[in-house]
Structure formats: structure tokens, C-alpha cells
Structure 1
């Protein structure tokens, strides 16, 4: 690199002589471990099938990012220097004798996030990117969800997928004293707000001009989904969006995704007019519905907002702290707020979070949280697009957390429902999407906020005044889901879920659902097509 640091990479070349288009990928996942199978046990194997790409006539350049694997320098994930390295590596690959001068980027998760980070600098020879399952804001999408530290995945990712592997599973590692000494976790403890430490790692999607094929996954609530949707909406070059459903790592090597990528790279790197840019720009998987469907835009212009109002009335179907209701009509009078004490004495960490054991040791997921549940739907309801929970709340503490899960409750046959009751276990419900907000981080950025997508600054936390009621706009991550007729929509609410840092927060939280303070969930509902 221009500062003298050497980046280790492997170059996989087709057998055919001559120059070829290049696919570039880099991550801190030890390039020498590509012999490991791409499976749920090796989540960091996210390059795609290198051999298949080479057989299609591409040079595949796979690098260890600075300070990882066999590369020199200090590891600092997605930082300014790593971004500069990607620029220089792309330009280096473009002028090699085996290159035709066109470079594309490829890969999932870290490899996908690295594509946003590189493309916002628009290297001259970067011809296209295809960020797959790729968050775009390390603070908001990855580390602090709504200002709440997401400990579960972060602890695993850094300790197991990164640092642990380098010392326990990589005997060929460099033996220098500064190897892998950067402490990602210590840094995120030191920077709990969106300060200068994070700003360069909120990738400037609006600066990206290169052709972009953004591929996301509806189950990517842990990190990535918002990055792929925002990437499609904000980049300024030619672009496409595909959102799938299922295990993204497995899907990456299956025919639908791989063939979509084949056509993308053929068009932009080989100059083949295969029609890929004449197709509808958006393809989404309608979960619990018709499967893949083509669209002309995201979000969908035909989606209509529908409000579900929180209510103190009992649904009669959920064993929870309150068994509250959801109603399609707004409240007309006053009502007492719904209150609970947090943390509940039955919650555990390490342990099962807010899931508690029933009488026979089986899991009960709702008994010690708040729930609000709708009546059975009289017809199918497709919810596709962004959502927001407008919540009026107070606390006896100076801060609290709001962790929201949107659930689909299917009707159960009477004998099955009776069996769950006998076993003292919670009936099954499917998680559709989720949202997070730390109460002190409630301030909104007016330039980036829309009615359905609140954008919080996370720069200047303001404590609550105990007992004072505040309005909170909680972003619930976008989804695409069909709630079937006879099913119920359920909103789960708690301050802790076992995957986040609660710390010393404790107090009684109250939620208001009267005419003056009508807490409600706003859905993006897609009208049924006329027959």
C-alpha cells in the first residue's frame, strides 16, 4: 500500500490465457481457511464458491484485510485506512496483465459491508458491486441498535470469528507482538454514542455512483437488512435490489442468487447485453405468501399505512404480564397505562434472557414480558415496507430500553392449544421483524427522518425526568410478510432480551394508550390486487 504495508492476497486465475474481469473480496476471516465448508458452523466462509467463479472466466482476488491473516499493519475494521486499502487493491488488480481492467466486488456480510466502504470512494476501475447481506452503518446496524448495545452477536463475532480464530486456529499467523491487539469491544464501550469514532463507518451511500446490486435478507435483523434497503434507495448509479428469505449463507451458493449474480457480472464486467438491466429493478420474497415477486420500486408506492393501537383490554389468548390488545380503531377516552417493573426477577443473563421456564422446564417466551395482540384477521394482510411504533411512555428511572418484536400468531387446533397449556409452555409464534430504542436516545434527525422511518441522532443522550410522559418514535425494521386470515398480530415489548446490555437500568415503565396519547404501530399494508 502507499504507506508501505503489504496486504496478503490469493489470486485465482482461469486456465485460459489472456486478460479477464476481476472479482475482489477482502475480510479479516483468514483467506487461507477457504478449504472450510461454507456452512452454519463456519459463518465467516462468505466468499461464494471461488472455483465456480474462476471456471466462469473471472480472476478472483481474495485478500486478508490489514492486520488480519497474513497481512501487515494494524487491524481496524472498516476504518479509513482499510477503506483506502480497498481502493488501492482494486486499482492494483485492474492493471495486472491478467486483468481486463474491470473490477467487481463480491461477498457476504463483512465482505458485503466492505463493498459499501470501497464504493463510496468510487475507485476508477471499480465497475460494479454486489453487496450481499451487508449492513451500512456500523453503529446503528451492528453495534448499538437504537442506541442499545447489542452484546450477543458482537461478543461472538469479535471473540470467535475474528480474534479467537487467529490465535487458536491459525498456527501460520505472524508472530509479531502487535498482531491482533486492537480491541474492538473496548472501543465500542468507550464510544456509546455516534461520535467521530463511528462516522466514517456510516458508509456514505449517496456518494456511490458505481452500478450496485444490493441483495438482502428479511431475516437479517441482527445486522444487515437495513443496509441493503438503504443502499438501494440512496446510491445514485444503475441499481437493482433482491431481498430473499432463509439462511443467507446457504442461499448465496444456490442457483437463484448465484445465477442472478452471474448475469450481473456478465453485464458489467464482460459487456454482455443479457437483459438484466431491462428487468424490473426490484425482486422481493413475500414471506408466508406467494414467494418471489417483481416490483418497480422500494418502498412500494401502492402500500397504505394502517394503524394498530395499543389497548389495555385483554386479548384472552396470551399468558403475559398484561395480555393487552391491539385495535384497528383509535382510543376515544382515557385509560390507565400499562406498567411493569424492569428487570423482572425471573430474567437471567447468562441464561435465557426474558424467556422463563414453565412448571416442567419448557420455555415460556411471553410470561414475563408485555404483549398486545389483535383479534383474528378476517382476511389476509400483506405488510411490506417500513414500520414505526409511536409510543407514549414514562419511567421511574432516568433511562430505559424499548425492545419490540412483531409476531404472527397462528390459530391452534383445540387439542394442540390444550397440550401447550397442560405443559405450561408458550404456544408457537413467528417473529416477523423487530425494533430497538434506548429512551435517552430519542432525539431525531429531522433531515433524515420520514413518517415511517425515524432516524435517531444518537449524539446527545438526554435522561428522562422520572414520571414524565414522552413520545418515542421507534423504528421497526422493514419487512415483507403476509398475516393470514385467522391469524393474530402480536406486539411484544420488554427492556431486555438476552442479546443486549441492560446494565444497571431498573424501574417501572408505563405505556399510555388513551385518546390523548394513542400509542400505535404503523404498518405498510399492500392492498390486494383486484381480480
Structure 2
């Protein structure tokens, strides 16, 4: 029997395993941290599948070690670190500032009962009920804010679309907002490695009732997954999420039930994107900012790892300032901040924050760069003569490179690629990569959310090339992913490839290169976001020769977002 326990220490009340019986009878549990002093406080909340009682260091030790090197004071100077959990706020740094912090084990995980179905609509409805519960507690001021990274950000987009009455603001930090396009199927290609590795390592290890879980609560010594249940009960109490991803290869009802209805979101939001998060969340934060119905919304793009940007004091101060305004009503100037704040990246890996009024930037010049198969170039004028170049789809690549820039050159914004291809097989996958080359011709890569990354990436399965003209824009094609249009071998087809948003300032003498291939571009093996499942990419369909056509009637070209700059050396 799991019961609630309450302790008080250093001015903070810790209620462990607070139970809420939901409308369908399932019992979910949360940890609640609140100020000891009587009063009514704003609530910041997160729901996730990674275990509210599993310490960050125990579950994600490599990431913990990296973060500790970047931020040695993580578990000192204001926090003991006892309550640090992966991708959620540290209660010891929030409660003293007058916030109630709630961390919920989602249905079927940790110490919450029920059927485990990640990102599903039932889980989203559970979150709604928790928000409404928190909004009417005697220690609550009636305003609930949501905050968290990745899974915990995805859930924010989903539940905010239901408009719980007590929800007052959200901070989805590095979290995809559109289930199919952002995470499951990039350009219609199954993103399998993360899902198939994430499921056993990060989710099943936390399933409610798992007696095999190695996770223990550091405070109590108890297993963090509640009572031990049989393997038969466990298997019958969960969805087969990897197989669901694999078998739902189009944007069908299953995927749409897990997509946030962004236009329905009306609460103020701060959407925090990571330029180096190209494999999952980057597009989601930009699309979330653009497509939500919120009248008050801000976009913040940063660099660095997936976790440092959430925990470093500078970023925590931004989060608190946002919530202090919308959960407390503080007149701290947040509402007068420009809606777009971007870390403009430089080729040496540094960045400087610049504030803007719109995304894409209002002064963007959309500059075409034409592919030249005969010379391997990217050039400002279309080649008059036709050309073509081949590559082996599963292992080859072709690259097209600009001349050295004659002055510092900034590209910040979404990128599109119109690519004319033919294939010897009935389908082809396109992996489009923007790369930074130094004056010696060596590629320069960057710290990403989880691994070294190039400047930008985009994906498209040729048979998923159909676009929706009403939802497409000049800077972002919208692929419907509701139809399969196979290729006729040897016939030439135009593809509109979406390359995810980027920012880079090239110094004088540096060059931009576009690499096109039919397999993952991995800077450092093995690569976190791979697309190599044999059932999704059978060799008979995808293992042929792909031809890129340029010039003449087939003027393949990039459209880059050029931003005017003062002349620099």
C-alpha cells in the first residue's frame, strides 16, 4: 500500500506520493513541494514517465557528469540536489522563491497506476485533471504554470490545447509540438533509434509495478516503481509504443490523437528551442510558437546541451521572471520584452542573444542558391546547362559548396530545398545537410542537444512528397503524409524538402556546403536520431541509385534566409 508522507525541512514542506483518483478511477501520484509559511502560491507542474523519485544522477549519469562540469554548483549553493530529477525544475531552487512545485508520475509509470500509453490522449486528460486539482488547493493562488523539457514539454503542448481553466502559462523547453513530423517520422522517414532504445531504457525501467527496476529512491531506499507485478500483468498493462510508431507510418488518426491542437492554445507561452536539437524538438518549438493561438507568446532559441540550458542560473532566472509575471502579476517588464530572442550562432561555436519582433525575421532576404552538378557548386544563378550526379542511396553522398564568402554572412531562419531527383527503385529517402566549411575546407560541427551536429538538417521520403498548398508557405513546405506516391524508376520528380530552422554567421573566407544522401548524417557514431529500421527502409525500395538533377528544366536550389549585417572583416 502506497501512502502519502509529509516532512518539513528548511522551510519547505515535502508531500511524497500525493494520490489523486481520476475520473475513470485510476490513481496517480505526485510529489508536492511547497513553502512552509501559510499562504497561497503559484504552482509550477510537470508530468512525465521518467520517475518522480528517480535521481537525475542515477538515471542519466553521463548527462549528470557533463552538467556538473558545466555547472559545478548544481547541487550546492542553494540546493542539496536531493530532489533533482531529469528534465524537471529543482524544488530547492523554486520553493524558496514562493512557488509550489508538483512532479507527477504519468499513468502507468513510477508510483502511478494504470495503462501505460506514452503521449496518448488519456494521459493528456490525466494532466488536465491534475492541473484543476492543483488550482483549487488551499496553498494555491489558482494559477498553474507548466514547465519541463522534452517529454514534459510535449505534454504541455497537448494539455494546453484542452484549456484547463486554472492553467495560466506554459514553458515548453525543447519539446516537439507535432507528434508525427517532429519526432516519429522526419519527412515521413521513421526515426527509430531513439524510440526503440528510449522505450526499454527510459520508460519500461519506470513502469509501475516493475520488480526488475534498478531505480531506488535515495531518501527512502524503496523501489521507485511501487509493488512488484508479474511480467504478464506488466505486458498487458502497456502499449507497444515502438511497434505503434512503426505501423502508423502515415499521419493517421493514431498520430493525430497525439498531436497538439496548437491553434486551440490560448495561454501565454515561452517556447525555448535549441539550435542543436535538430533530431526532434527544434522544429516543434518554432512551429509551436508560430501556430498557437496565444496572444502573448515568446520564442527563445539557445545553444548548448539539452540539459544545461534548463538548469543554469541565467536560464532559471528567465523562467522565473516569465512565471512571476503571469502567475503572480508582477510588473517586471516581461510583457514588454520583444517576442523573439535568438542566440545568433557564430562559426566558432559562440553565440550572442539578439532580440527581434517576428519569426521569420522581417528583414529576411530569401536568397536562392542553385545546385550545379557539373562543378559541385552552390551558386547564385541557375546553370543554363543540365547536369546530374548519382550516389548509392544507402551509403553514398553528393555535396554542393559555395565559393568562399567575401564578407561575414548571416543566415538565420527556415531553409527550403527544391530538389529534382530520379531513382532506380520505387522510393528514395533524402537526407539534406547544411555544413560549415572553414577556409581549409574542413567541416566545423557544433555542440548539440545530445551530440555533435552540423549546421542544419532536413529529411524527406520521396513517396511522401505531397504538400498541402494552404498550409505551405514560401519558407516551409507542409507535407500531408496522408498518401503514398511511389516513384517510376528513372522518372524525374521535384521534391520540396523542409530544412529545419537554423542560425549561423559565416566569417569571410568560409563556405556553406549542402550534402545530399540517402542515409543518416552522423558526426559522431553511433548517432542518437537514426533512421535505419529495415522494415521502414527495405533495401529493395531504398537501396538503389539516386540521381540529383540540376540546371535547365531541373533547377534544383536551396533558398537561404540571408540577414543583412554590417560589414565585418
Aligned: 1:325 with 2:377: yes
SS at match of 1:13: strand
Alignment match, 1:492: 515
- For 2:164 and 2:135, locate their aligned partners in 1 and report how far apart those are by CA, in whole Å: 10
Offset at residue 158 of structure 1 (A): 1.5
Q: 1:461 to 1:305 in 2, by over 3 A?
A: same
SS at match of 2:92: helix
- For 1:86 and 1:510, locate their aligned partners in 2 and report how far apart those are by CA, in whole Å: 49
Alignment match, 1:528: 565
Aligned: 1:511 with 2:542: no
Alignment match, 2:214: 169
Match among 349, 360, 372 for residue 400 of structure 2: 372
Q: How does 1:109-128 map to 2 (within 5 A)?
A: 109-128=150-169
- TM-score (norm. length: structure 1): 0.88
Aligned: 1:229 with 2:286: yes
Match among 46, 53, 57 for residue 36 of structure 1: 57
Match among 293, 305, 322 for residue 264 of structure 1: 322
Q: How does 1:114-513 map to 2 (within 5 A)?
A: 114-166=155-207, 167-170=212-215, 171-173=223-225, 174-176=227-229, 177-179=232-234, 181-237=238-294, 238-288=296-346, 291-314=352-375, 324-335=376-387, 337-344=388-395, 368-412=396-440, 428=444, 431-497=454-520, 499-501=530-532, 502-504=537-539, 505-513=542-550
Offset at residue 190 of structure 1 (A): 1.4
Greater CA deviation, 101-110 or 251-260?
A: 251-260
Offset at residue 334 of structure 1 (A): 2.5
Alignment match, 1:320: none
Residues 299-318 of structure 1 show CA distances to partners (whole Å, capped at 9, x for unaligned) of 1110011111111234xxxx
Q: What runs of 5+ residues in structure 1 fail to find an aligned partner?
A: 315-323, 345-367, 418-425
Task: Give the paired residue count.
Answer: 486
Offset at residue 226 of structure 1 (A): 1.1
- For 1:372 and 1:41, locate their aligned partners in 2 and report how far apart those are by CA, in whole Å: 36
- For 2:556 and 2:407, locate their aligned partners in 1 and report how far apart those are by CA, in whole Å: 24
Residues 362-410 of structure 1 show CA distances to partners (whole Å, capped at 9, x for unaligned) of xxxxxx4211111111111111111111000010100010001100001
Indicate if the aligned counterparts of 1:410 and 1:429 stay in contact, CA closer than 8 A: no
Q: 1:52 to 1:290 in 2, by over 3 A?
A: closer
Offset at residue 429 of structure 1 (A): 5.2
- For 1:87 and 1:427, locate their aligned partners in 2 and report how far apart those are by CA, in whole Å: 47
Alignment match, 2:40: 19
Indicate if the aligned counterparts of 2:46 and 2:104 stay in contact, CA closer than 8 A: yes
SS at match of 1:71: coil
Offset at residue 54 of structure 1 (A): 1.1
SS at match of 1:33: coil
SS at match of 1:161: helix
SS at match of 2:425: coil
Offset at residue 411 of structure 1 (A): 1.3
- For 2:206 and 2:499, locate their aligned partners in 1 and report how far apart those are by CA, in whole Å: 34
Indicate if the aligned counterparts of 2:134 and 2:144 stay in contact, CA closer than 8 A: yes
Greater CA deviation, 38-47 or 78-87?
A: 38-47
Offset at residue 175 of structure 1 (A): 2.7
Residues 120-166 of structure 1 show CA distances to partners (whole Å, capped at 9, x for unaligned) of 01100001111100101111111110011112222222221211454
Indicate if the aligned counterparts of 1:74 and 1:178 stay in contact, CA closer than 8 A: no
Greater CA deviation, 157-166 or 256-265?
A: 157-166
- For 1:427 and 1:277, locate their aligned partners in 2 and report how far apart those are by CA, in whole Å: 41
Aligned: 1:2 with 2:23: yes
Alignment match, 2:96: 55
Indicate if the aligned counterparts of 1:399 and 1:463 stay in contact, CA closer than 8 A: yes
- For 1:41 and 1:217, locate their aligned partners in 2 and report how far apart those are by CA, in whole Å: 16
SS at match of 1:280: coil
Offset at residue 233 of structure 1 (A): 1.2
SS at match of 2:417: strand
Residues 314-352 of structure 1 show CA distances to partners (whole Å, capped at 9, x for unaligned) of 4xxxxxxxxx221121111223x11122224xxxxxxxx
- For 1:206 and 1:40, locate their aligned partners in 2 and report how far apart those are by CA, in whole Å: 38
- For 2:165 and 2:56, locate their aligned partners in 1 and report how far apart those are by CA, in whole Å: 33
Offset at residue 530 of structure 1 (A): 8.3
SS at match of 1:465: coil
RMSD: 1.9
- For 2:319 and 2:224, locate their aligned partners in 1 and report how far apart those are by CA, in whole Å: 34
SS at match of 1:187: helix
- For 1:73 and 1:492, locate their aligned partners in 2 and report how far apart those are by CA, in whole Å: 46
